[in-house]
Structure 1
Amino acid sequence: MEALAELIKRKVPNEGLIIEVGVGFYLKVAKKLKEYGFNVVVVDINQEAVKNAIKERIPGFVDDVFNPNLKIYLKARAIYSIRPNPEIMMALLTLAKKVKVPLYIVPLSGDVPPREMKLINYKGISVYVWEP
């Protein structure tokens, strides 16, 4: 999954905020983006996941993408998510459109993302991308 961090590094200017939605307890991509010099924030509906990220020195917020607190996302340069379920993918796309930033999704094998997203293969991983 670190290839996703590399892809974001290539596509997004290294200034501003990158937000991972649905981080869970997997922080490798967020940590790699921080190594690249990005300002990274993680978001999850699970308070324990956010506490874990904060303990690992990655700022985080508890939020529900079906009813997002837009203040969290307004300064974002990009949003990404790793293996969200299809319902969350649609909510992420709606959110990305509202704040007018690129969205990167690495789907679970077999999940079908929203049709508006373009599939790219980057270093062996499938990534669906939407750009404003």
Structure 2
Amino acid sequence: MDGYKHIEHCVGAYIAAHYHHPVEIGVGKNPDAARCVHDAGISIRAIDIHPCLLPDWLSFTRDDIFSPDLSCYAGADVLYAVRPAEEMIPPLVALAKKLDCDLVVYHLGFESYGDGGKIVDCGVPLHYYYRRGQNPSKSVD
């Protein structure tokens, strides 16, 4: 497995191993990480601001994380994003805080936000910008 498919596989396998109710933010035309989660037998939801043609097994909702409809994320234990635009990180952190669910991000190259959050290596570096139950004063703002 090479290139970005390796990245999506690592992210999806990590999410599947640690969560039961994940939501992928900004799925776009690339449901490969979600496929790994789905193949592990975990129900997965995907969100994007644009309409997306995705496989039937993937529950998809259009939403704007800059003005989110919280009902789209009900019950999520993790929000995750693969290569989100840097300006998406602050609203993702705010959303994770409101939902009190983990926020996990894989960045393109050496990008990060703030202090980079806690980094976990699952074959690729994942940034935790918020953890459930975390004291908000300790999270990245």
TM-score class, shorter: 0.7 to 0.9
**Match of residue 28 from structure 1:** 32
Q: Which residue does 2:15 correspond to in 1?
A: 8
Alignment partner, residue 119 of structure 1: 119
TM-score where L is the length of structure 1:
0.86
Is the 1:90–1:114 Cα contact (8 Å) retained in structure 2?
Answer: no
**Residue matched to 2:88:** 88
Q: Distance in 1 between matches of 2:110 and 2:39?
A: 31
Gaps of 5+ in 2: 1-7, 133-141
| Equivalent-residue separation in structure 1 for 2:26 and 2:38 (angstroms) | 17
Secondary structure of 1:39 counterpart: coil
C-alpha distance in 2 between matches for 1:95 and 1:114? 17
In the alignment, the residues of structure 1 paired with residue 79 and residue 18 of structure 2 have an alpha-carbon distance, to the nearest angstrom, of 12
How big is the shift at 1:10? Answer: 2.6
TM-superposed CA distance for 1:114, in Å, is 3.5
Give 2:127's aligned residue: 128
The answer (yes or no) to whether the contact 2:16–2:36 under 8 Å persists in 1 is: no
| Counterpart Cα distance in 1 of 2:44 and 2:121 | 23
Please tell me whether the aligned partners of residues 45 and 60 of structure 2 are also in contact (alpha carbons under 8 angstroms): yes
Q: 1:46 aligns with which of 30, 47, 50?
A: 50
Cα displacement (A) at 1:116: 6.7
SS of match in other structure, 2:44? strand
Q: Find runs of 4+ consecutive structure 1 residues off by over 6 angstroms.
A: none
Q: Distance in 1 between matches of 2:114 and 2:92?
A: 10
CA RMSD of aligned residues (A): 1.4
- TM-score of the two chains, using structure 2 as the length reference: 0.81
**Count of residue pairs the alignment pairs up:** 124
More strand by share: 1
Structure 1: runs of 5+ lacking an equivalent: none
Q: In 1, distance between residues paired with 2:35 and 2:23?
A: 12
Distance 1:82 1:91 in 2: 15
CA–CA distance in 1 between the matches of 2:90 and 2:109? 17
